[in-house]
Structure 1
Amino acid sequence: MTQALLSYRGAVYPWHCDHIGHMNVMWYVGKFDEATWNAFHQIGLTPSYLRDSGRGMAAVEQHIQYLREVHAGAVLSIRTTVSEIRDKVVVLQHEMSNDDTGEIAARMTLTGVHLDTVKRKACAFSSQILEAVKPLLGKD
């Protein structure tokens, strides 16, 4: 059974909203970015691992679906699964929900590449990372 990680939880503040009263797209992207780093941390791609091993992660593609408006005061959660992992590539599926209404507000698919920061090129994930991802593998 696929396990979804709780990768983000936070509130929408008035300054996150645009002139028509709903959360601006820049804040969706920011909250999804925080979810990405939280998910990475939970599978072992921690800041210390990346720094100490000369590794990094780079987003190479992302797609966002905006499904419901979100307003100031909303509490949001993002849950993350992994739809695909290959030697050097991981594809995350984020789903943002409004905790008050239970509605899905947005979804994002993110493709990330594991990097050797010295050689500045893609490199394989360690076996520990691949094993940590297995419970998160979902079907799209």
Structure 2
Amino acid sequence: MYASYSPRDLFAELDRLQRHMQRALDLSPSIRGFARDGFPALNVGGTPQTLEIYAFAPGVDASTLEVGLERGLLTIAGERQTELPDEQSKSAVHIHERFRGRFSRTLSLPDDADPEQVSARLRDGILHITVQRRASAQPRRITVQ
């Protein structure tokens, strides 16, 4: 009827519950994105001149991808299809773990991102988006006289 927890099990379960709740409540979008898992998986980094975003989207056709930038929010959306037997065939699917369907991810870009200087390309299932930083935001050295 009742699960008995030793103190060690109870604290481990409380710790797991706290981490799960923290992830669920962390809704602040930023350059690091949401704390939740999502598709496509993202790597975000940058240099002093650019922001580099890599979206790992195997099996996604470039014609279904949409990349948009509006008011500092970069949105990656699309659709991924999987090859499953149709209903008329006599095949059965026992395990289907690969995500299929529509997806969307949104990132908030920093203020120095230049919305006029964005490029995106898909190669081998990896969408690479480069956003240039504004020239006025570039670090520069000032000579002291």
TM-score (normalizing by structure 2): 0.31
Higher helix share: 1
Could you state the TM-score of these two structures normalised by the residue count of structure 1? Answer: 0.32
Q: Using CA pairs below 8 Å that are at least 6 residues apart, which structure has the higher relative contact order?
A: 1
